[in-house]
Every structure is written in C-alpha cells, then in structure tokens.
C-alpha cells in the first residue's frame, strides 16, 4: 500500500543519509515516494517531491481542479541544499489521516481569485465612501473652535456649531493629538468631511483639570466615532 511504501522509503532514506547519501540518490528516492502515492487508489495520501504530505486528493481536486504541479529540477536542488544546511533533509515528518469534506463552491478559478472576490465585495461600500470623499473639496475651516468636551460639528452651509455624539458622515479625514509626556490617551481631535468640520475635546482639557490622572484608560476617555454596538 502507499502508506507502507512511503514509510519504508523514509526509513531507508534516514539510514542512507548517515552513509553520505548523494543528492541524486535522494531525489530518486523522493520520486519513488511520489510515484508510490500517485499510483495508489484515489483515496490514498498525496506527497510532494520532497516526500511531504499534501492535501488529500478530494480537497486538492476541489481547490485546484486536479492540477498537478511539479517543482523544476534546479529549484528542487536548491531546496534540497537549503534543507541540508539546516539538518532537515530527509527528516521523517509526521503523517496524518486524510481529511475529506465538501468545500463551498469557489468564487473563481483559484483560491486566490476566490478570496480576492470576497475581499472586493466586503470592502466595496468603504471604497465607495473613500472615492466620494476624495472627489469633494473640504469646506472652509472654522475661524473659531469651541472648547467644549466631546464632539462639536461646524456646519459649512449654516455656520452653526452643534454638539453631537459623533460625526455623522460616511467618511472622514481624521487627526488626533496626545500629550505623550502625561498620558497615552487623546486630548484633542479634528475631523473633516465634504460637508462639515468637527472637533473633539477631552474632559480634562475642557474642564481645565490635571491631565496626569488619566494614566489608566476607560471607554469614556476614548474618542467615539459611532453608535455603541
């Protein structure tokens, strides 16, 4: 069986290494391991050209359509030399029973294309917000900033200064200031969108309190940017 052929091959390989096994001999032995696996029945273990166990045939066929790739001889030689330098060439690895189950249908021809399509779909709304933001000009910056704890919105159309819980725009340009000599927590922040400017002031600055006591962080010390949950 394939399991016995591979196990016997690895035992022989381990013994020959200590007797100055040549690279050519080792490659021949590795190819024997591969051949033994590939000639077995479909539910037998797959190994690569280095005798390392690979995905089961069932999973490999679902992910790669049964494509068989082989490492070119020159690259395989470099791999062998690298493994030999680190004392890993021919070392017997652990073998596990094949795992076979039905995978979801790939959204593309390869796993790489599958995950790329998922990433594009998941990030599409945020990319759309960012593109809208860069196409718009920022409104004029306020001439005067309100030193009030929390967020203040400066409406570009009405000129009003409105106290808000957090900016209500989809995308923002955001910056924060920290008094690093006293605490790693934020003290001031400013944000801008295509419709308004915003400022945020910490309680300690607004109330003229000593800032040093904010050495331990609680949620109220942080800058809110959305609804809870």
- The one catalytic residue in 78, 165, 175, 203 is 175
Element (H, E) at 153: strand 150-155
Q: What is the Cα–Cα distance from 169 to 194, expressed in whole angstroms? A: 9
- C-alpha 51/C-alpha 92 separation (Å) is 9
Sheet harboring 173-178: ordered strands across? Answer: 161-164, 150-155, 196-201, 186-192, 173-178
Contacts 24+ apart (CB under 8 A), 3-10: 3/44, 3/45, 3/95, 5/32, 5/33, 5/36, 5/37, 6/33, 6/36, 6/37, 6/45, 6/47, 6/51, 6/95, 7/95, 9/33, 9/36, 9/51, 10/51, 10/90, 10/92
Q: How far apart are CA 34 and CA 6, in angstroms?
A: 8
Spatial CA neighbour of 49 closest among 69, 65, 64: 69
Mark whether 175 is an active-site residue: yes
**Catalytically active residues, by annotation:** 175
């Amino acid at each position: 069986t394939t399991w016995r052929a591979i196990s016997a091959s690895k035992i022989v390989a381990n013994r020959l290494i200590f007797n100055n096994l040549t690279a050519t001999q080792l490659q021949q032995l590795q190819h024997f391991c591969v051949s033994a696996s590939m000639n077995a029945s479909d539910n037998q273990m797959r190994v690569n050209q280095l005798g390392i166990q690979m995905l089961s045939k069932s999973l490999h066929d679902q992910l790669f359509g049964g494509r068989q790739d082989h490492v070119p001889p020159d690259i395989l030689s470099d791999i062998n030399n690298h493994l030999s330098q680190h004392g890993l060439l021919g070392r017997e690895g652990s073998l596990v029973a094949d795992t076979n189950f039905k995978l979801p249908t790939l959204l593309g021809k390869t796993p790489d294309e599958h995950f790329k399509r998922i990433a594009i779909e998941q990030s599409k709304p945020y990319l759309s917000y960012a593109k809208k933001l860069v196409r718009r000009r920022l409104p004029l910056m306020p001439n005067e900033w309100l030193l009030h704890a929390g967020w203040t919105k400066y409406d570009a159309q009405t000129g009003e200064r409105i106290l808000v819980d957090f900016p209500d725009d989809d995308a923002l340009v955001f910056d924060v200031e920290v008094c690093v000599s006293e605490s790693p927590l934020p003290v001031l922040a400013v944000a801008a969108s295509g419709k308004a400017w915003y400022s945020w002031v910490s309680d300690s600055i607004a109330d003229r309190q000593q800032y040093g006591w904010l050495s331990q962080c609680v949620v109220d010390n942080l800058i809110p940017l959305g609804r809870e949950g």
